[in-house]
Amino acid sequence: MTIDDLLEIVKKNIPNADLNMIRLAYDFAEEAHRGQKRASGEDYIQHSLHTAKNLAKLHLDETMVIAGILHDVPEDTSRTINDIKKNFGDDIANLVNGITKLGTIKYRGIERYIENLRKMFVAVAADIRVILIKFADRIHNLQTLYALPRDKQLRIASEVMQIYAPIANRLGMWELKGQMEDEAFKYLHPKEYAKIKDIIDPYYQKSVDILEEIRTKIGEISKKNNIEIKIIQGRAKHLYKIYKKLQKHDNDINKIYDLIANRIIVNSISDCYAVLGLIHEQWKPLKGRIKDYISQPKPNGYQSLHTTVFGPGGRPIEFQIRTKEMHEEAEYGIAAHWHYDETFHSEEGTKLSNKKLSWVKELTKWKKNLDDNKHFLEDLKLDVFQNRIFVFTPKGDIIDLAEESTPVDFAYHIHTEIGNGCVGAMINNHMASLDTKLKSGDMVEIIVDKHRKKPSRDWLKFVKSNVAKNHIKQATRIKIPFMGKRYLN
């Protein structure tokens, strides 16, 4: 795709976006990545453009589109975060920095890696935009996974299943979650994937005519009753979801009624119920399949009316009826809030804090959703993490520390010897004093002098953790009376 293709999509999805600024970001990234190729053989900039496109499609803002274009610049080119800061400002530079840091987590055994990534996702929760850009990046990586060797395919696909998809789910981004799962499913279980496709494809083929007939009919009756509706293509359900459903239903496709869901979007809640009535007048509903998620939303906040009816030829067809707001929420989840926040607040500061606020609000909502994955919810509990920061070792491990911790706390956290022998620290590759307060995301390297075995008592003035305090006290305890006696004897 070209920059003009991207700008077209931006124009459609993000009103008032500064297209010139996006073009400038493209020129900057294109120059930086020039000559680099992806494993697929494409120019590297294609990945940047696709990442940005995915963000635009979620109706996110211009800042995130620009950060999407620039997201791999500091890691893969000679241009630095500072260059980005100079050209595009602090906000965009911070976003790109956040994505770069998520990328530095090394793969060292799946268990540890998942733990690390989960912690990190929580750590950057303060700015959820980083996660959204990472999703956009990951979607394109999945789409070009075919070009990678099998071991990498498996690694990336399992990361998606185990980390990205559950997080997308928590954020209410069900459409994105489904997309990611389907791509990962293809690589993790190729045989099952092919089998499901073999069942589903002919089924959809057969449904095309029936669906057309239904759409026309619904169009007519709603017009007659003065209800404005928009029918969303009865799109195929995500394959991975079908795969899991089939396992529950003895692999009998006839037991699954919602293989194709017709979405009907109306203007108001009362229209939702009116359309439901009209559909039931036309086709007989299946018993036990009418669900009112409007008056009783699902625990994750999902709202819609569902019904399955015997359509033409007695074939069961599912309908999902909802308002535009409910639909956007269901498709984009937390990303849908950007849209609304933008329109209500003009001042930069309020906008951001509002976004943060809604993220916290959403999190607490999902905390109530105690279905699967309890451990993950435990990890997400805000109170646990509220006063913690997460910093990196040079090897990419994440250490969590109390807020206001210093390099000395970090050093003792790693090992007593490193604490005792520590003479200096590098934070994000810059020399820093030992009493510097660390921030989430910092990469900390401790400089150790092997000959120095004793910490300084002055450190007690600034260290935060009890572990560090105890070690320092112990190592600097004045033992003159005992030492004296011992030597005398």
Contact footprint for Mn ion (CB under 5 A): 72, 137
Q: Among 253, 248, 238, which Cα is nearest to 181's?
A: 238
Indicate the residue type of 67. Answer: A
Quick one: 137 or 258, whose CB is closer to Mn ion? 137
Quick one: 147 or 402, whose CB is closer to Mn ion? 147
Quick one: 29 or 246, whose CB is closer to Mn ion? 29
Residue 99 CB, nearest approach to Mn ion (Å): 8
Catalytic residue set: 75-76
Cα–Cα distances in Å, from 473 out to 70, 458, 462? Answer: 48, 10, 13
Q: How far apart are CA 487 and CA 489, in angstroms?
A: 5
Helix (H/G/I), strand (E/B), else coil: 63: helix
Quick one: 88 or 459, whose CB is closer to Mn ion? 88
Residue 144 CB, nearest approach to Mn ion (Å): 10
Q: How far apart are CA 273 and CA 401, in angstroms?
A: 52
Residue 137 CB, nearest approach to Mn ion (Å): 4
Quick one: 137 or 329, whose CB is closer to Mn ion? 137
Indicate the residue type of 70. Answer: L
Contacts of residue 325, defined as CB under 8 A and 6 or more positions apart, other chains included, come to none
Residue 177 CB, nearest approach to Mn ion (Å): 19
Sign of CA dihedral 475, 478, 480, 485: negative
Contacts of residue 260, defined as CB under 8 A and 6 or more positions apart, other chains included, come to 204, 207, 211, 234, 235, 236, 237, 317, 318
Q: What would you report as the CA-atom Rg of the chain, rounded to the nearest whole angstrom?
A: 27
Contacts 24+ apart (CB under 8 A), 208-212: 210/311, 210/312, 210/313, 210/315, 210/317, 211/260, 211/262, 211/317
Quick one: 72 or 329, whose CB is closer to Mn ion? 72
Contacts of residue 96, defined as CB under 8 A and 6 or more positions apart, other chains included, come to 67, 70, 71, 73, 74, 81, 84
The pair of structure tokens assigned to 61 is: 């803002």
Quick one: 63 or 207, whose CB is closer to Mn ion? 63
The span from the first CA to the last CA of the chain, in angstroms, equals: 84
Q: How far apart are CA 26 and CA 44, in angstroms?
A: 12
Indicate the residue type of 61. Answer: D
User: Nearest residue to Mn ion, using CB?
Assistant: 137
Quick one: 159 or 331, whose CB is closer to Mn ion? 159
Task: Look at the block and give the residue holding tokens 């400038």.
Answer: 24
Residue 51 CB, nearest approach to Mn ion (Å): 6
250-271 CB burial, b ≥16 within 10 A, e <16: eeeeeebebbbbbbbbbeebeb
DSSP per-residue letters across 388-435 = EEEEE-TTS-EEEEETT--HHHHHHHH-HHHHHTEEEEEETTEEE-TT
Q: Among 462, 453, 451, which Cα is nearest to 407's?
A: 462
